Amino acid sequence: MEPIAIVVICVLSVLVIAAGVGGGFLAYHLLKRRAEKARSDAASIVSEAHAAAEEILKRARSEAERAQADGKANAELAISRAKLEAQSVRTAAEAEGKQVRTAAQSEAEKIRSQAKCEGDEMVVARTAELAAQARKLDDREAGIQRRDDALTAREAEVEKLKADTKAKAESLQALETQLNTRQESIEVELCRVAHLSQEDARREVLAKAEERSAVEVAELLKTRHDEAEDKAEETARTILANAMERYSQDVAIERTTTTVALPSDEMKGRIIGREGRNIKSLEAILGVDILIDDTPEALTVSCFNPIRREAAVRTLQVLIKDGRIQPGRIEETYAKIKKSLDDEIRHIGEEVVMRLGLPKINRDLCYYIGRLKYRTSFTQNALEHCIQVGELCGMMAAELGLDQTLAKRCGLLHDIGKAADFELEGSHVEIGARLAKKYGEPPEVISAISSHHGDCEKKYIYDVLVVAADTLSAARPGARSETLENYIQRVADIERICTSYEGVQSCYAFQSGRDVRITVYPEKIDDRGITLLAQQIRDRIQSEMTYPGNIKITVIRESRASETAR
């Protein structure tokens, strides 16, 4: 624990103790003052009672003296009565004094206990606060201690590694010295035996040593290569697993049609207009198909261009709310909506760039990034897909020690061509590469766009990262939905291929067709035959079907014997 923290805790403890002692001391003096007052009140009452008794005795004596003449009997009677009365008054006064003293003592005890409780509560609260602060300081000290332990362990490992390296270097040096000595003795012996010159013997020995070393180096290189492949595969698997675990994204499902709500069915007639004039103007200006059927209080806008469809829907909503539907009003409203939508799209692109923390991107290219929000691929939103790929590329680049920002840039822009593939000629790969060149993107980004579908050769490591991240984002479960008919057809095709082979007993497709279990007749196919059957089914599925992800094929062969005991 740090010295300052210890001093602060000690000072706070002293202050709390001093506050408790001061409170107790003040309560004690208050109780003592009240008790003294009660005693003085009781003493005054007793003295007044004694005074009253003395007064009565005086009166009795005077009356006795006056009545002495009347008779001794009357005097004694009066004296006895006076004594009785004085005794009763004294008894009453003493009883009243005891009650006052008892009440004063009980009140003093009550005040003392109350003061003590208040002091104890203050001490307990302050003690709890100090204990909480002490726990925080202990936790911080424990964290610092853990870091110190980790650093100490790391330093010990480094020292051990240095010692091992030094020992190995010394052993290698000793071995080299020994080899040099042995080599010189061998050279001398060879010269003596073979009658060769020392230079010729040296060359012959070096040639043999070089040949032996070449074999050893080749074996070492092969071993290192195998180890590197194993380690690279394990590292890649770990990086991909970490990237998939750290990133999760909701997927929006877009369609080519949008339904617009109407306030009433009367609005359908106003939209159609006289002799269909309004609906023809709407379709011509907006560039969409407007479908009006028997659906109550609704119409459908259909267009394959998602941005044009969005502008048409917003224009219709404004016109329906305003109520004035005529060709001039339609054209004016559409122009305003189109400008507002373009500004919104550019703002979306800039927000995505800021979200990923990328350096400045051309403003016009940000507009194309924003357009991806209204583009879908197999019902997967293109902008969300590109953001996912950018995040995954950044994670994997960070694990590999590469430029994380450049990797995110490649991942975000790899499908930028989809923002304009419904307007320009060519595939989205070609369009994306042209846009990247036009707006001055780095060569790594252009290469990642051109090669992420295998159309061009991969030139940079970022190309591989984009391909891996693109596959992860597109092929994960739930990323791209499909219709029920396509799902049923795929499962039926898998089962058809599996049951077409002789010896297959049954076939079941699980997990949306990603896992296939095949059982065979054990008397028709042996254990070696099931391996060949699994390979044949795999080859046919790969050549005849189109499917997302992977399909696991499992062939099961078993023999069972059952009897029933009665």
User: Measured between alpha carbons, how far is 314 from 302 in angstroms, rounded to an integer?
Assistant: 13
The one-letter amino acid at 503:
G
Least confident of 245-259, 344-358, 466-480: 245-259
Residues 319 and 429 in one domain: no
Do 403 and 265 belong to one domain?
Answer: no
495-529 pLDDT per residue, tens = 889 999 988 999 988 766 778 999 999 888 888 78
456 pLDDT above the threshold of 80: yes
Residue type (1 letter), 278: N
CB atoms inside a 10 Å sphere around CB 433: 24
Domain CATH for 322 = 3.30.1370.10
Residue 520 lies in a domain: yes
Taking the C-alpha atoms of residue 44 and residue 97, their distance in angstroms, rounded to an integer, is 9
Domain-terminating residue out of 136, 168, 200: 168
For residue 193, being part of any structural domain is answered with yes
> What residues have CB less than 8 Å from 350, skipping those under 6 apart?
363, 366, 370
Report the range of poorest mean pLDDT among 36-45, 275-284, 352-361.
36-45
Mean pLDDT throughout 10-16? 67
- Which of 11-20, 262-271, 322-331, 405-414 is predicted least confidently? 11-20
Q: Is residue 106 part of a domain?
A: yes
Domain containing residue 534: CATH number: 3.30.300.20
For residue 516, is it within any domain?
yes
Question: SS3 letters for 394-427?
Answer: HHHHHHHCCCHHHHHHHHHHCCHHHHCCCCCCCC
* Per-residue pLDDT reduced to its tens digit, 142-155: 777 777 777 777 77
CA–CA gap between residue 316 and residue 385 (Å, rounded): 30
- Describe the crossing of helices 382-400 and 461-475 by its angle, rounded to 10 degrees: 130
Q: Decide: 350 and 340 in contact? Cβ < 8 Å.
A: no
Q: Give yes or no for a contact between 70 and 23, defined as CB atoms under 8 angstroms apart.
A: no
> What confidence score (pLDDT) does residue 151 get?
75
Q: At which of 168, 203, 222 does a domain end?
A: 168
> Within a domain: residue 75?
yes
User: Residues, the chain, total?
Assistant: 566
Does residue 352 share a domain with residue 340?
no
- Rg (alpha carbons) of the chain, rounded to whole number: 50
Question: Do 57 and 128 share a domain, yes or no?
Answer: yes
Q: What is the mean pLDDT of residues 258-267?
A: 84
274 and 322 inside one domain? yes
Phi, psi of 107 (to 5 degrees): -65, -40
The CATH number assigned to the domain holding 455 equals 1.10.3210.10
Give the end-to-end CA distance of the chain in Å, rounded to a whole number: 79
CB 23 within 8 A of CB 122: yes
Do 366 and 493 fall into the same domain?
A: no
For residue 252, what pLDDT is reported?
33
Quick one: which of 377, 469, 457 has its CA closest to 446?
Answer: 457
Q: How confident is the model at residue 249 (pLDDT cuts 50, 70, 90)?
A: very low
Compute the distance between CA of residue 544 and CA of residue 310 in angstroms, rounded to an integer: 38
Q: Which residue has the higher pLDDT, 561 or 193?
A: 561
Q: Provide the 10 A C-beta neighbour count for residue 126.
A: 17
Q: Is residue 364 part of a domain?
A: yes
Rounded to whole angstroms, the Cα distance separating 306 from 381 reads: 11
Contact 433, 421 (CB under 8 A): no
Q: Which residues pair with 258 in a beta bridge?
A: 301
E-assigned strand segments in 226-385: 257-261, 289-291, 298-302, 376-377, 380-381
Q: Do both 136 and 284 map to the same domain?
A: no
Average pLDDT over residues 402-415: 90
What pLDDT shows up at residue 376?
Answer: 75
In this model, does residue 1 exceed pLDDT 60?
no
Q: How far is CA 120 from CA 8, 25, 541, in A?
A: 22, 13, 81
Please tell me whether residues 176 and 317 are part of one structural domain: no
Q: How many other CB atoms are there within 10 angstroms of residue 361's CB atom?
A: 20
Give the end of a domain, one of 121, 149, 168.
Answer: 168
> Per the domain annotation, does 564 fall within a domain?
no
Which pLDDT band holds residue 172 (cuts at 50, 70, 90)? confident
pTM listed for this prediction: 0.43
Residue 561 in any domain: the answer is no
Task: Please state, rounded to an integer, the average pLDDT across all residues of the chain.
Answer: 77
- Same structural domain, 128 and 219: no
CA angle 418, 381, 482 (to 5 degrees): 105
Domain match, 380 and 298 both = no
CB 253 within 8 A of CB 379: yes
Say if residue 418 is in the same domain as residue 455. yes
Q: Please answer whether residues 503 and 524 qualify as being in contact, where contact means their C-beta atoms are separated by less than 8 angstroms.
A: yes
Give the rounded distance of the alpha carbon of 273 from its chain centre: 55
Cα angle 256, 260, 265 (rounded to 5 degrees) comes to: 135
CA distance 41 to 104: 10
Same domain? For 10 and 146 the reply is yes
CA distance 345 to 306: 12
User: Count of domains in the chain?
Assistant: 5
Residue span of the structural domain in which 315 resides: 257-345
CB 459 within 8 A of CB 447: yes
3-state secondary structure of 7: helix
